[in-house]
Structures are given as structure tokens and as C-alpha cells.
Amino acid sequence: MIVGWDVSTSAIGICIRDDSGKLIEFGVLYPKGKTHREKHIDAAAQVVNFCKRLCPKADHFVEERLGGFTGGLTTKQTLMALAAMNAVVSFVLSEFGTVQHIPVVSVNRIVGFKKPKDANRKVEVIKLVRSREPTFPYRETAAGNYAQGVDDMADAWMLAEAGLKVTKGEASIGQPKKAPRRKSKTGRAPVDSDEEG
């Protein structure tokens, strides 16, 4: 069983698939509490209950949260809060199977997602998931926007899809190694082998 977890301080998107890739369940948990500590305690309890019911033994794939930090006080504070929640959830998940963290850049590469220039990433991810998973529980608000939790479940699907490919040996989490540069027979600058074909 493969489970993708999109963890944040306000919502935790979940996507469960069996080892063949068949969709089993989508879900969203909403940690409650006025302080980070209260939210951590509530998130841990909700994750435990969810795992006991639906995925007591699985391979869990969680988005790595610190890989994209580029600086800035607000960004740093936000990322540290996300990392703390991520750590809490990951610790709980370790009681229900293996836990692997995947940087978003690796998820995008493995799944084959490329955001069009100037496009909204969340919207584009939702479009991709809807095109590949007919049972995705897409909902809209009266204003025509995607409903709360839809983006979290879509990101969780991305993680589960990447996790499935990693588990099957069809992809690796690390960056792919560049192919060795071959020497040019004409004396011109070497050509990267991945430029061919």
C-alpha cells in the first residue's frame, strides 16, 4: 500500500493507493488548536486514527518541506512551522510503515508535471490529477473556485504517484545523474548525450 501525505499546519491531504496503483481513498485532515503545540497534538491523534482505519501498514511518502528555502524572515518562520508539523506527522507515520520524504522538484520530475509560465501551480496540479484520476473528488464553491481541501488531496495524489513509481523501481527520489559527455569527432564542443534523439 502506498500513501501520499501533503502536510501543512492547516490541512493534511491524503491519497491511498494499493501496490498496483489502484485508488483506494482520498482524505483531508484539519488539525485544530490555537497554538502550534495544540495543532501538533490534534494532528497526531487524527493521523493515528486514520492509519488504524485505512492504512495500518504502508509505504508513506511525505513532501520534504525545507528543500525550497531561499531566505526571508517570514518565509523562514512559515517553513519552520511546516517542518515542525511535518516532523510530528512523519514520526506518527513511522509506527505504521516506512516513511520517505520527497522534495517537490523530485515529485514533479517523477510524475511529469511542468507548470506553464505564469500559471497557478495549485490549479495546474488539480487539472493534471483530474485528467489522470477519474475518481478524484473535485468540488467547487459557488464562485467557481476549487473547494477547501481539493488542492491538498491533489498534492497528496502527486506524492502517492511518485511513491508508486519509486516503489516499483521506475524512478528514484534523488536527482538523475547527467549522462557522461561524449567527445566530438569533428573537434567541435562536446555534445551532451541526453540531447540526442
Question: Are 146 and 5 spatial neighbours (Cβ–Cβ below 8 Å)?
Answer: no
Domains of the chain in start order, with CATH, are 2-195 (3.30.420.10)
Residue pLDDT, tens place only, 128-174? 999 999 999 999 999 999 999 999 999 999 999 999 999 999 988 87
CA gap 75, 80 in Å, rounded? 8
Q: How does the average pLDDT of the chain come out, rounded?
A: 87
3-state secondary structure 70-101: CCCHHHHHHHHHHHHHHHHHHHHHHHHEEEEE
For residue 172 the three cell numbers come to 528514484
Tell me if 15 sits within 8 A of 54, measured CB to CB.
no
- Given phi > 0 = left and psi -120 to 50 = alpha, else beta, which region is 80? alpha
Compute the average pLDDT of residues 46-68. 90
Task: Choose the weakest-confidence range: 17-31, 37-51, 138-152, 181-195.
Answer: 181-195
Alpha-carbon gap, residue 116 to 16, rounded angstroms: 28
pLDDT band of residue 190 (cuts 50, 70, 90) is very low
Least confident among 61-75, 98-112, 126-140, 146-160: 61-75
**pLDDT at 69 exceeding the cut of 70:** no
Confidence of residue 89 (pLDDT cuts 50, 70, 90): very high
Mean pLDDT of 176-185: 54
Comparing 11 with 73, which gets the higher pLDDT?
11
Helix axes 36-54, 73-93, angle to 10 degrees: 40
Contact 191, 184 (CB under 8 A): yes
- Position 172 scores a pLDDT of 86
Write down the pLDDT at residue 193: 37
Confidence of residue 186 (pLDDT cuts 50, 70, 90): low
| Rounded-to-integer distance, Cα 123 and Cα 1, Å | 27
Q: What's the mean pLDDT in 41-55?
A: 97
Are 46 and 88 in contact by the 8 Å Cβ rule? The answer is: no
| For residues 97-114, average pLDDT | 94
First-to-last C-alpha distance (Å) of the chain: 37
